[in-house]
Chains A and B, each alone.
Chain A
Amino acid sequence: MSCPGEGARRSALHGLTPAKRWLRDSRAYKRTNGPNDRHGAILKLVVCVKQIAILGDEVEFTADGRDVNPEHLGHSLNEWDACATEVALSWREQHGGGEVVVVTSGDRKAETALRRCLAMGADRAIRVESASIDPISVARGLAQAIRDEGPGLVLCGVQSSDSGQGSTGSALAQFLGLPCVAVVSSLEWNGFGPAIVKRELDGGLIDVLEVDTPALLTVQTGINRPRYATLRAIKLAEVREIAVVASRDDRAPAYRVRRMFPPQKGNGAQILKGGPEEIAQQIAGIIKERLR
């Protein structure tokens, strides 16, 4: 077989210890590819994900005051991106196949997020080697890798929970030249025609759109409950090879962080005083007042 993906998978499992061989033989590893796109190729859904930083109890800044000291950070797959991955995975299940490719931008450490997606069931992962953090540069790098994949659908999270710019998705759509629908809360798509997507608007209104594919959708949390990964799937994902693509973008980043600091405490807070019942009454009063 000459498929590069297959080759990569094989080489990763070559010469495995008995424990790793046991992992390979387990059910979670075996997967079939299903529906093809209209040209007969396997239909691809690309999901862009980010490994986000989580603040711990203590926050300390680096000496230059431009970032949080990484010692105090935890890391995780961005919640919105987990939902986007789930959209792709459940679409693949409902339609009996297709390939889910997850892509991220960053250094080697960012692969943890990709491995989480692989453990959830993604077929393949690509990392765009890049030190960029501004969304435009990130999108530019991602676009290079995604263009080569020729996906039927590109899914992003609406935003990341750490920097919260919310613009990688739309920038990426621009670079890929794809139609973009933001803040999607539901997807219906048969794999080739236009996709029907829903968006939740203010006041509980639902906006139903039909969008030509390929398209880029940014996915809102709440669209689904991302599946968990078993420990076995997590271990399997640890030995999977992740394709690394060098970013061909040599432009200077669009922005640079100048300073990061906790906001000064304001005096706007209203301190309620009294016993629990009095305080509860005051809170109820404030809510009623504001709702009016």
Chain B
Amino acid sequence: MARDHRYDVLFEPVRIGPKILRNRFVQVPQCTGFGSEKPGAQARHRAIKAEGGWAAVCTEYCSIGPESDYTPSVSARLWDDDDVRNLAPMCAEVHAFGSLAGVELWHGGVEVSPSETRMVPRAPTQVPSDGLHYSRPLTYPREMDRADIREVQQLYVAAARRAMQAGFDIIYVYGADSYLPIQFLSTYYNKRTDEYGGSLENRARFWIETLELVREVAGDSCAIAARLAVEGLGAKGVGLDEGLAFVELADHLVDLWDVKVGSRPNVGDTTSSRFAGENWQAKWTSQVKAHTVKPVVGVGRITSPDTMVKIIESGQWDLIGAARPSIADPFLPRKIEEGRLDEIRECVGNNICTLRANWGQQIACTQNATAGEEYRRGWHPERFAKADNADRDVLVVGAGPAGMECAIVLARRGMRRVHLVDAAPALGGHLLAVARLPGLGEWARIVNYRQIQLDKLRNVEVILRTRLDAAAVREYGAEIVVIATGARWATDGLNHVTNASIPGAEGKHVLAPENVLDDPDQAGEHVLVYDAEGYFMGAGLAELLAARGRHVTLASPHGAVSPMSDLLHEGIELRQHLRRDCGVALKPQTRLVAIQNDNCVLRDENESEFQLSVDTVVLVTMRIPNDSLLRELRSDSEALTRERIEGAFGIGDCVAPRLLADCIFDGHRLGREIDSAQPGTPLPFLRERCLAPVKEPADQLYTA
């Protein structure tokens, strides 16, 4: 289908310095966990976005020298010619699709703890990072003298030269969130009294000089960009006034302003959908345009083409920047261009990408199971090879996230018929209820997107309100059976802290999360939510019940309530919100020892027991797989053979409860490999790693 003319403006080319963006879509710098160490994965991940229509595709933060080392978090690196060699394929592949490649030259200053290189980080002043202070204590930077400043600036220059050799078109001098150039700009970090400290002009000097140097190297062959948290949202960055003033000071030196807001510890610009809706940064970043003559790109998890048009037409920015929306749907621009709006896989903002990429793992995405798998497994988000056994019929039992995803992939692989059967009256499994938890509404996109695709696939039939037992599954007439029956919450308090149930859990006033989601009003006035899992359910139910006027205590054996949320960049805000806005009493480091009729016995971090008087206890402890159907089917392989069933496979929570992203991945993986010799076992993937020299005996390697 053709593009709706409403969206024409999004496809206008934009000049940035010597380069031309073919449209207004920019994948701003975004972590992958690939860096320069996994050149294949890096290149394919970015190339698929170029193919999907992003006019520019950038690396993640790219270290300019060994002192900017944040291991085990993975950055790209441009330290030497071998790094050039490893990043060049990304540029070549991105260019092949007519897009520009951008690199984000990065010096972390105080915000690194160089555990691989064992160097001392250099910073404007010896002010330790407040964030690192908790996670990686004893990281003191060294204050830079003038010689250090020249040396570090030459690292930028050398890295810029290498970037040009690799083939990059856009060179960032990266400041935001709180890296070296911003550290010079911010009075929080910069206490200098020389010409690099004090007035704004002085604090801006380092960044401006560095931009001048990099610009000189780049000449007319590259566009120069600066990424700036124009409002620091806290003491560490700069306030909006100074942010805008800096834009004016440096405007002649940049071809592109990439603007965002700053980071507080664990609350980055990657704020979760719980706390930030689409285009949430506009309040601050929309003000930049008035202070520059250069093109401006901003972010804010923008997935709606109508919002994008509004952003351009209102003059908010010139370009639509995206990290997370481009991970969830690398083909977002092309789908707008081709009028396939209902095929856009919108980011749900649950920050699994952040969790994975920031913590030394490779990128993953809840919505897009192919993210990070483009090279090593050869998965393309939009292309599906016809299965060798496409003449088979498949029965998928369970239409939760894993089952829906698997059915879609199987259908796209051309399986003759795919029947997706569920006992519930609607698609989505447990996620339907989860998305009704406060703040998690966007998670429903996981179901909605898949429901729309299933509806379009002509070889899929969705059968609801139908519960199949093992006999019915065997008699169903499918050659391949997939079981995706999900999990349920333990009702006896079984938890992974004690690996035992909780005495008294059988009491009538004890509810499982499902009970509360079905009917929150059955909870009494005083409620204890005991969250031994540490993700969204405990916090979500506490908020849900508090919103209904209950007095809620949220106890957790973990060091902090909902520790997962810290990894997802929402922990501090979430706890603040629960305490301050919802009136929930938080009791971390507290174990539930026993439940009595109107009392709970709890044990605090000092091992002293205390009692809490409650009317209702909600146990969010452990999830138990609904695996009876899978077990029954697999235990009688003769019956399967008799019914001509070639394989019965489990996916998702019914195998082992896990993250949504991993459930969807599991369903996707099975669909991708349904025609392998053993579909139940993942095929080996390409591993990018160093191999020992072939000719040298191993012992010589260590004695040399």
Contact = CB atoms under 8 A, between A and B. Distances in A.
A57 interface: yes
B340 A231 contact: no
A231 B465 contact: no
A192 interface: no
Contacts of A57: 1, 340, 342, 456
B1 A230 contact: no
Nearest to A231: B477
A228 B463 CA distance: 7
Contact of B475 (A19, A26, A56): A26
Contacts of B463: 228
B461 A230 contact: no
Interface in B412-426: 417, 419, 421
Interface string A131-169: 000000000000000000000000000000000000000
Q: Interface extent on A, as a size class?
A: 10 to 19
A24 interface: no
A74 B417 contact: no
A131 B421 CA distance: 37
A231 B415 CA distance: 13
B466 A58 contact: no
Nearest to A233: B477
B395 interface: yes
Contacts of B476: 230-232
B466 A231 contact: no
A231 B397 CA distance: 13
Interface string B434-463: 000000000000000000000010100101
A14 interface: no
A288 interface: no
A54 to B, nearest CB: 9
Interface string B360-382: 00000000000000000000000
Interface string A35-78: 00000000000000000000011100000000000000010000
A22 interface: yes
B477 A230 contact: yes
Contacts of A19: 644
A234 B477 contact: yes
A26 B478 CA distance: 13
A199 interface: no
Contacts of A231: 393, 395, 417, 419, 476-478
Interface in B463-509: 463, 465-466, 475-478
A22 B477 CA distance: 10
A29 to B, nearest CB: 11
Contact of B466 (A23, A228, A232, A235): A228
A212 to B, nearest CB: 36
B461 A58 contact: no
A31 B290 CA distance: 79
B395 A22 contact: no
B426 to A, nearest CB: 14
A58 B475 contact: no
A225 interface: yes
Interface string B109-144: 000000000000000000000000000000000000
Contacts of B340: 57
Contacts of A228: 419, 421, 461, 463, 466
Nearest to A26: B475
Interface string B383-420: 00000000001010000000000000000000001010
B644 A22 contact: yes
A27 interface: yes
Interface residues of B, number: 19
A97 to B, nearest CB: 23
A149 to B, nearest CB: 30
A24 to B, nearest CB: 13
B498 to A, nearest CB: 45
Nearest to B477: A232
B461 A235 contact: no
Contacts of B461: 228
B465 A58 contact: no
Nearest to B416: A231
A255 to B, nearest CB: 30
Nearest to B466: A228
Nearest to B395: A231
Contact of A230 (B342, B456, B465, B475): B475
Of listed A26, A27, A228, A231, residue having the most chain B CB within 10 A: A231
A234 B417 contact: yes
B446 to A, nearest CB: 21
A252 B465 CA distance: 46
A231 B466 CA distance: 14
Nearest to A19: B644
Interface in B624-664: 644
Interface string A1-44: 00000000000000000010011001100000000000000000
A91 to B, nearest CB: 21
A230 B397 CA distance: 13
Contacts of A234: 417, 477
Interface in A230-266: 230-235
Nearest to B417: A231
Contacts of A22: 644
A228 B466 CA distance: 9
A27 B471 CA distance: 12
Nearest to A119: B477
A23 B419 CA distance: 18
A70 to B, nearest CB: 14
Of listed B395, B465, B475, B477, residue having the most chain A CB within 10 A: B477
Of listed A26, A58, A228, residue having the most chain B CB within 10 A: A228
Nearest to B421: A228
A278 to B, nearest CB: 15
A230 B421 CA distance: 10
A205 B465 CA distance: 29
A27 B475 contact: yes
Contacts of B1: 57-58
Interface in A113-144: none
A232 B419 CA distance: 11
A209 to B, nearest CB: 30
Contacts of A233: 477
A235 B477 contact: yes
Interface string A201-245: 000000000000000000000000100101111110000000000
A19 B1 CA distance: 42
Contacts of B456: 56-57
A22 B421 CA distance: 24
A141 B340 CA distance: 42
B318 to A, nearest CB: 23
Contacts of A230: 419, 475-477
A189 to B, nearest CB: 26
A103 B461 CA distance: 24
Of listed A19, A27, A234, residue having the most chain B CB within 10 A: A234
A231 B478 CA distance: 6
B455 to A, nearest CB: 10
A109 to B, nearest CB: 14
B613 to A, nearest CB: 40
Of listed A23, A27, A230, residue having the most chain B CB within 10 A: A230
Contacts of A56: 456
B116 to A, nearest CB: 47
Given A19-B644, A225-B465, A232 B475 contact: yes
B458 A74 contact: yes
25 contacts: A23-B477, A26-B475, A27-B475, A56-B456, A57-B1, A57-B340, A57-B342, A57-B456, A74-B458, A225-B465, A228-B421, A228-B466, A230-B419, A230-B475, A230-B476, A231-B393, A231-B419, A231-B477, A231-B478, A232-B475, A232-B476, A232-B477, A233-B477, A234-B417, A235-B477
* Shortest Cβ-Cβ A-B pairs, 7 listed: A232-B477, A231-B477, A228-B463, A231-B393, A230-B476, A231-B478, A230-B477
Given A58-B1, A232-B475, A234-B477, 9 more contacts: A22-B644, A74-B458, A228-B463, A230-B476, A231-B395, A231-B417, A233-B477, A234-B417, A235-B393
